[in-house]
């Protein structure tokens, strides 16, 4: 099993620039090796800087990139909270992105229907898959409570072991989300967590050094057995990792 890597960078801008360079390298490697690069994008705010850096950075093999999402809010694509909308605004609305290779989760549907619909979409993107789809790269964020994608503490989706995509009731938000499940995240060839800000220090320490159950800190459940796992973090988020003297 490839190891777990941690890179601590000065700030979010440095995290974004490093992630964009890694994305470039991995995208061209995948395209040269297999003709395409399958990517599951993260939602939230942290990746905005990365998506902008990707759009403005060294040329990517855009026409060979397949853009999917790790999760979505149960809202239409023009809603301010939509992850698809955020990705469109920061990355995917660029003229060089082939819109037919952007596969958003249809958050405008009832959550269970959106999840089933997206799983069918993924099954067409990964034909012949008997277990779980292997994304070339899954991008994840980390919530202050230790959630990732829309796998929140004590939420029902944490227990899912067969479906690829599920609707998940998030008690603290009093809403449903649609999310990839642990088996899909852990089937990835590579997972990169982007973590920035002091509000993530507790969660990152729990993920990297803690022993809490996955139910309490879901991001601890992302351990791809044959994929690379890297945490790209800024100093503020890493504050809890410094050995206390
Ligand atoms: C979402 C994300 C979620 C996010 C974390 C961190 O839909 O919001 O998938 O898992 O990555 O909540 O969010 P920030 O980057 O905004 O801190």
Whether 245 shows a pLDDT value over 70: the answer reads no
Nearby residues of 156 by Cβ (< 8 Å), 6 or more positions away: 166, 168, 169
This prediction's pTM = 0.97
Nearby residues of 3 by Cβ (< 8 Å), 6 or more positions away: 229
**Ligand 1 within 6 A of 146 CB?**
no
Q: What is the pLDDT of residues 198-211, one digit of tens each?
A: 999 999 999 999 99
Q: What is the pLDDT of residues 86-97, one digit of tens each?
A: 999 999 999 999
In which region does residue 36 sit, left (phi positive, over 0), alpha (psi from -120 to 50) or beta (all else)?
beta
Task: Give the mean pLDDT of 127-154.
Answer: 97
Ligand 1 atom with the smallest distance to the CA of 197 is 17
Measured distance CA(203)–CA(208) in Å, rounded? 9
Please state, for a pLDDT cut of 70, what percent of the chain lies above it. 98
How many structural domains compose the chain? 1
Choose one of 104, 142, 191 to mutate for the ligand 1 pocket test, by most ligand atoms within 8 angstroms of C-beta: 142
Q: What is the CATH number of the domain that holds 24?
A: 3.40.50.1360
245 belongs to a structural domain: no
Q: What is the pLDDT of residues 16-41, one digit of tens each?
A: 999 999 999 999 999 999 999 999 99
Q: Which H/E stretch holds residue 139? A: strand 137-140
Which residues constitute the domain of residue 42? 4-240
Residue whose pair of structure tokens reads 């855009």 in the numeric block: 62
CA of 204 to the centre of ligand 1 (A): 14
The structure tokens listed for 138 are 């899954």
């Amino acid at each position: 099993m490839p190891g777990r890597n941690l890179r601590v960078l000065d700030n979010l801008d440095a995290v974004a620039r490093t992630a964009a360079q890694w994305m470039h390298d991995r995208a061209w490697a995948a395209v040269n090796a297999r003709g395409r690069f399958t990517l599951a994008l993260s939602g939230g705010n942290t990746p905005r800087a990365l998506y902008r850096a990707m759009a403005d950075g060294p040329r990517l093999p855009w026409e060979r990139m397949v853009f999917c999402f790790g999760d979505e809010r149960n809202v239409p694509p023009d809603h301010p909270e939509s992850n698809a909308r955020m990705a469109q605004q920061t990355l995917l609305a660029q003229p060089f992105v082939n819109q037919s290779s952007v596969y958003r989760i249809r958050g405008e549907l009832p959550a269970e229907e959106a999840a089933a619909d997206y799983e069918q979409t993924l099954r067409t993107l990964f034909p012949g898959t008997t277990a779980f789809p292997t994304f070339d790269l899954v991008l994840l964020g980390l919530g202050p409570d230790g959630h990732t994608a829309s796998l929140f503490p004590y939420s029902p989706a944490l227990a899912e072991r067969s479906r690829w995509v599920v609707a998940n009731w998030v008690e603290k938000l009093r809403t449903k989300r649609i999310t990839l499940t642990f088996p899909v995240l852990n089937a990835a060839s590579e997972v990169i967590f982007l973590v920035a800000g002091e509000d993530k220090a507790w969660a990152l320490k729990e993920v990297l050094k803690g022993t809490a159950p996955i139910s309490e800190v879901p991001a601890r459940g992302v351990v791809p057995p044959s994929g690379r796992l890297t945490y790209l973090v800024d100093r503020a988020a890493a504050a809890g990792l410094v050995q206390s003297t």
